[in-house]
């Protein structure tokens, strides 16, 4: 078992963590990745190495995601077959909780094991807000409820290390991105309760709650921009086609063909980065979905107005719901990634209670 700790300009809490962890379990191998810290912090890494950790790294800060991938590649090369538990360097994770994740990981060969904080007690406002934001966005994007999407305490079976290298992201968004990819790749998520610890108001953290939480939701934002752009294109095209053909039917149909094709290509290449070599199959599914969305929109508005809801609120409610449905269908069905780590059961989140 290897405990992987990405560290950027760490304090002496890193040395304390190494010392306390080895005191509880001398058999644990601790691997620290120096994520391009300045030379001022060299003594901290030296003390951590003297305490029993293995320190590797590179010049220039590249982000937590890059540091984790660097560590995963190192483990695959020098310690093949070893499972990995990642932990933060700022003292937020207790040695007992790290070892509990390691113990739970021994019974899992196809799951990400998350150390989920309850966020109870004296929690800094930015951390509470950041986690609530990312938790909500994650649930919208995946339909799964994960209590702590930002936790840095995670267990990775050796069988998933190569798959983890295929996930995009170089900074904090990488940890959220792996949860999104886990959902679509059939990887189970097991969440184990751990203690919520913040030192000095979490002042040592380099995490930016709002910015870094939103970065992983880039596809959702691009999807919205793509939809808006297609609407504008459709509006412009229908005006031009009316001038050229003089036919409203031809203008509406032609404009929808133009805007729909543009939306399909943008979503396929820029939003979801689809790798399916047969785009015709995707196009057929896209057309079927587009027709279904139009029908569902009509029926939804008809149902709400029939219940006494005004037309404008009805359209807003229906459009928001169908926007999320359309995004999910395109991400999970139409443009779903064909790269999967292994066949497995339907992905789900399992929450274990904290045993102390």
CATH number, position 146: 3.90.550.10
Are 197 and 232 found together in one domain? no
Looking at the fold, whether 90 and 47 belong to one and the same domain comes out as yes
Based on the fold, state whether residues 104 and 233 are members of the same structural domain.
no
Residue 119 Rama label (left phi>0; alpha psi -120 to 50; beta): left
Q: Could you read off the pLDDT tens digit of each residue along the chain, which spans 356 residues?
A: 899 999 999 999 999 999 999 999 999 999 999 999 999 999 999 999 999 999 999 999 999 999 999 999 999 999 999 999 999 988 888 999 999 999 999 888 789 999 887 655 555 555 566 666 666 767 766 667 777 887 889 999 999 999 999 888 887 778 888 887 887 778 888 988 888 775 554 444 545 555 555 555 666 667 778 888 888 888 888 789 888 888 877 887 888 788 888 888 888 877 776 666 667 888 888 899 988 888 888 898 889 989 998 887 888 888 888 887 888 788 778 887 544 444 333 434 444 433 33
Range of the domain at 295: 220-334
Q: Which residues 6+ apart lie within 8 Å of 340 measured at CB? A: 185, 186
- DSSP of 140-205: HHHS---S-TT---EEE-GGGHHHHTTS--SSTHHHHHHHHHHHHHT-EEEEEEE----SGGGTT-
Q: Model-level pTM?
A: 0.65
Do 140 and 26 sit in the same domain of this protein?
yes
How many domains does the chain divide into? Answer: 2
Same domain, 128 and 10: yes
224, 310: one domain: yes
CA pair distance 355, 316, nearest whole angstrom = 45
Tokens representing 83 are 């499972």
pLDDT at position 124, please?
57
On whether both 50 and 183 belong to a single domain, the answer is yes
Matching residue, tokens 């933060």: 88
Q: 3-state class of 277 per DSSP? A: coil
Residue 246's pLDDT is 84
pLDDT value, residue 239: 83
Q: Considering only CA atoms, which of 143, 200, 161 is closest in space to residue 349?
A: 143
Q: What is the pLDDT of residue 12?
A: 92
Distance (Å, whole) CA 63 – CA 334: 32
127 and 261 belong to one structural domain: no
Say yes or no: 145 and 31 in one domain: yes
**Alpha carbons 22 and 338: distance in angstroms, whole number:** 41
pLDDT (0 to 100) of residue 224:
74
Shared-domain flag, residues 154 and 55:
yes
Q: In whole angstroms, give the CA distance from residue 106 to residue 96.
A: 16
Residue 66 has a pLDDT of 93
Residues 177 and 244 in one domain: no
Residue 69 has what pLDDT?
95
Asked if residue 163 and residue 38 are part of one domain, the reply reads: yes
């Amino acid at each position: 078992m290897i405990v992987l700790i990405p560290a950027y300009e760490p304090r002496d809490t890193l040395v304390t963590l190494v010392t306390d962890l080895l005191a509880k379990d001398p058999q644990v191998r601790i691997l620290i990745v120096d994520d391009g810290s300045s030379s001022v912090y060299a003594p901290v890494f030296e003390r951590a190495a003297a305490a029993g950790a293995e320190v590797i790294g590179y010049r220039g800060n590249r982000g937590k995601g890059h540091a984790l991938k660097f560590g995963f590649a190192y483990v695959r090369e020098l310690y093949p077959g070893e499972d990995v538990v990642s932990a933060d360097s700022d003292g937020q994770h207790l040695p007992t909780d790290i070892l509990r994740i390691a113990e739970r990981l021994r019974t899992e060969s196809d799951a990400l094991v998350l150390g989920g904080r309850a966020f109870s007690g004296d929690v800094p406002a930015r951390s509470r807000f950041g986690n609530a934001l990312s938790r909500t966005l994650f649930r919208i994007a995946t339909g799964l409820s994960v209590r702590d999407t930002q936790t840095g305490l995670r267990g990775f079976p050796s069988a998933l290390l190569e798959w983890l290298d295929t996930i995009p992201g170089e900074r904090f968004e990488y940890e959220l991105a792996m949860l999104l990819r886990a959902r679509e790749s059939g990887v189970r998520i097991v969440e184990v309760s751990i203690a919520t610890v913040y030192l000095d108001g979490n002042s040592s953290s380099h995490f930016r709650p709002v910015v870094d939480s939103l970065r992983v939701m880039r596809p959702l934002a691009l999807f919205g921009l793509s939809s808006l752009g297609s609407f504008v294109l459709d509006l412009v095209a229908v005006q031009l086609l009316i001038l050229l053909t003089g036919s409203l039917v031809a203008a509406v149909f032609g404009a929808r063909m133009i805007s729909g094709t543009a939306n399909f290509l943008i979503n396929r290449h820029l939003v979801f980065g689809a790798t399916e070599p047969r785009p015709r199959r995707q196009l057929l599914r896209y057309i079927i979905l587009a027709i279904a969305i139009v029908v569902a929109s009509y029926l939804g508005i008809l149902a709400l107005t029939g219940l006494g809801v005004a037309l404008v609120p009805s359209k807003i409610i229906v459009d928001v719901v169908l926007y999320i449905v359309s995004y999910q269908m395109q991400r999970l069905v139409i443009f779903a990634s064909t790269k999967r780590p292994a066949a497995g059961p339907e992905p789900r989140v399992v929450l274990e209670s904290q045993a102390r």
